[in-house]
A and B are shown apart, each in its own frame.
Chain A
Amino acid sequence: MAKTYKELMEEARQIVPEVAIDEVKNRIERGENWTLLDVREREEYREGHLDGALSLPRGFLEMRVEEAVPDKSTPIIAYCAGGIRSLIAARTLKELGYEKVTSMSGGYTSWKNAGYKWVADRQFTQEQITRYARHFTLPEVGEKGQAKLMDAKVLCIGAGGLGSPVAFYLAAAGVGTIGIIDNDTVDMSNLQRQILHTNDRVGMPKVESAQKTLNALNPDVKVIPLNERLSSENVMRIIKDYDIVINGCDNFPTRYLINDACVMAKKPLVDGSIFQFEGQATVFYPDRGPCYRCLFPEPPPPGAAPSCAEAGVLGVLPGLVGCMQALEAMKLILGAGKPLIGRMMHFDTLSSEVRVLKLRRDPNCLVCGDHPKITELIDYEEFCGLRTAHSA
């Protein structure tokens, strides 16, 4: 015989114990191991929910719950907005064999009105939901990951060959704040590989050109152009505002400067360098792996290592290495996968060979070793032999 709604609810109450919001709060505070299951619609969940609650809309409950909560002895507190949907949902869970299921009476509305702790996920605009749709689909990113990307602050050293793909892809991915430091202007000879810049911007400061390109791609991103040369005087002030530093500079003094500053400020440094047909990429993460000096304690003497301007560089090469750096930065932000810490990817493009080399922290390293001797920034031009100690 068909049941009325009232009968159905009464029946559910016979089967499913209800629990008041105060009791739920007590259980959480006692650290009891209840799984909170929010059965409201996605949009309702997004606007606010109990901390740590799993979102499983009523309509998808039967289909997805066994994947979300595989162990049927898991104690579950289901809740909705007012306590009705969760009661019916809890009954269904019982039928599916979940042993210890309760429904929170009064629901989220009572919980919130009582002033109990709730959290809201990032609210995405319709445009963002569309723009980042492919990220939302990935379990490793999802809405939480996209929110992390949007909250992340990344500093690109250089808006050149490496900085171009790095900043381009990070902006596309929705990294919220991208600082770019470079004191150079766009030169026609840059355009063979520095894809942030365009023909009509020759002569323009690179950081200005970068900002135009990045905001044209994604206006959501806050681009901070820093039209200055990184130095021992400004580096600590600049990097303190960022979570991750990405190295795309083109000279040894700056490489040692950034390394030392990142070790001292404990900032992860996503490193990349290129020469002709060859590239290197790795992540130097203070306290978690080696630093640049562990790998290369001293720079080559001036003249021994010609620059790209002198020796040339294949146009696509910085794209390859820069994309690797962007990828590693994304992984660090998302906390996904295994970062390239203590490993270096070495690209030999002519032979199409990629090698992963093991790097180790040197306990005797002057900067990050057990007894560091360099504890403040030095004169890096002098250290690299580009200037004598007493010259201006």
Chain B
Amino acid sequence: MGARVRIPTPLRRFTGGAEEVSADGVTIAAVVDNLEQRHPGLKERLCDEAGKVRRFVNIFVNGDDIRFLNNLETTIKDGDEVSIVPAIAGG
């Protein structure tokens, strides 16, 4: 099972500049763990020490916020698009 993960600009230094990477997993939690294996350092940016998604980052699956689905336990189908959307402040 694999998802396409959209990497926001501030985190592309962990993916060698790639804007989209693939990651395996049947849940968001598994996808995040797999991302960490492939791109070390990424998980810490997304999740706090307790493993919960940080409050200034949102993860969307096919345009839906996982906080209103099953959070990290939201299931992933093959080919789903996962978007990581952090708070940005520039104006």
Q: How far is the CA of A251 from the CA of B91 in the complex (A)?
A: 8
Which residue of the partner chain A has the closest CB to B55?
Answer: A298
* Segment from B24-32, B57-65, B71-79 that makes contact with A: B57-65
* Segment from A200-208, A305-313, A329-337 that makes contact with B: A305-313
Do A351 and B89 touch across chains, with their CB atoms under 8 A apart? no
Q: Which residues of A contact B68 (CB under 8 A)?
A: 360
Do B85 and A280 touch across chains, with their CB atoms under 8 A apart? yes
Report if A252-B83 is in contact (Cβ < 8 Å); known contacts: A295-B58, A357-B63, A358-B64.
no
Report if A273-B90 is in contact (Cβ < 8 Å); known contacts: A298-B55, A350-B19, A357-B60.
yes
Q: Which residues of A contact B67 (CB under 8 A)?
A: 362
B63 CB to nearest A CB, Å: 5
Chain A 136-162: CB-based contact to B (< 8 A → 1; otherwise 0): 000000000000000000000110111
Q: How far is the CA of A251 from the CA of B19 in the complex (A)?
A: 25
Do A162 and B91 touch across chains, with their CB atoms under 8 A apart? yes
Tell yes or no: B16 within 8 A of A by CB: no
Which residue of the partner chain B has the closest CB to A318?
Answer: B91
Which residue of the partner chain A has the closest CB to B7?
Answer: A348
Do B63 and A299 touch across chains, with their CB atoms under 8 A apart? no
Q: Which residues of B contact A296 (CB under 8 A)?
A: 55-56, 58, 87
Tell yes or no: A103 within 8 A of B by CB: no
Chain A 159-191: CB-based contact to B (< 8 A → 1; otherwise 0): 011110000000000000000000000000000
Tell me the residues in window 19-36 of chain A with beta carbons closer than 8 Å to chain B beta carbons.
Answer: none
B79 CB to nearest A CB, Å: 16
A-B contact pairs, 13 of them (CB 8 A): A157-B91, A161-B90, A162-B91, A249-B89, A251-B89, A255-B89, A273-B90, A296-B58, A297-B55, A305-B10, A350-B9, A357-B85, A359-B65
Nearest first, the 8 A-B pairs at minimum CB distance are A298-B55, A275-B88, A308-B90, A250-B91, A296-B87, A300-B56, A274-B90, A278-B9
